[in-house]
Amino acid sequence: MKTYLIVQHMEWEGPGQHLLAALKEAKVGYRVWEVWHEAVPLLDPFAGLMVLGGAPNVDEEEQFPYLKPLKAMIRQVMASGRSYLGFCLGHQLLGEVLGCRVGPLPQKSVGFITGELTPAGLAHPAFAGLPPRLALFKWHGQGVLPPLPAGVSILAHSTAAPVEALGLDGNPRVVGLQFDNHAGAQDVARWLQHDRDWALSGSGVDPEALAAAAQKQEAAMGEEFQRFMRNYLRL
């Protein structure tokens, strides 16, 4: 059985319902590394790394000392040929390691929006069979900023973020997703409970409407995300 190391930054923000369902369906094992209190694990037993979102910004190494060894691990993952999948902060960390600029977006992006695959995204095997326009669940204030360095491609974009997904040319096993489609309605409710003040400040989001949208999007988003994960795990 393949086993992945899942990096969790916040006690309340673990792997989402849709991600857990996809791993179970694929009979893929995982271990969660809770970075705020656990030592850095050895990478050797794992087929790849999945990095979730969280509160830190990529440049806050003094406030969050684990960021430095985590970035070193991301480099090790790519050098060893293992797979890397990043969500939100995990996407931004990948971008920084690849030489992209990461910084504040014009406006905080929280809630459900529509994103669009680029020609590179439409051709990427991880997005095979998915529609060119995707519903995205967002929870962030920073993002990867274009232009991207040579060898790194934008796979998806939206009006809220110019880089909703990025890929490493020639290595489809390395993917970053700015959106958090791995989260189901129960996850959204928990995030609202624990991170409500940050999410609602300056975003214009109505929490009741957001919770209702999560319920409405549950089945369709779960189906599309699991298709993405089936594609990705085959790589």
Measured distance CA(74)–CA(65) in Å, rounded: 15
**All domains of the chain in start order, with CATH:** 3-234 (3.40.50.880)
Measured distance CA(72)–CA(46) in Å, rounded: 16
Measured distance CA(65)–CA(51) in Å, rounded: 16
The pLDDT of residue 29 is 97
User: What does the pLDDT profile of the chain (235 residues) look like in tens digits?
Assistant: 899 999 999 999 999 999 999 999 999 999 999 999 999 999 999 999 999 999 999 999 999 999 999 999 999 999 999 999 999 999 999 999 999 999 999 999 999 999 999 999 999 999 999 999 999 999 999 999 999 999 999 999 999 999 999 999 999 999 999 999 999 999 999 999 999 999 999 898 999 999 999 999 999 999 999 999 999 999 9
Q: What is the DSSP string of 115-175?
A: EEE-HHHHHSGGGTT--SEEEEEEEEEEEEESSPPTTEEEEEE-SS-S-SEEEETTEEEEE
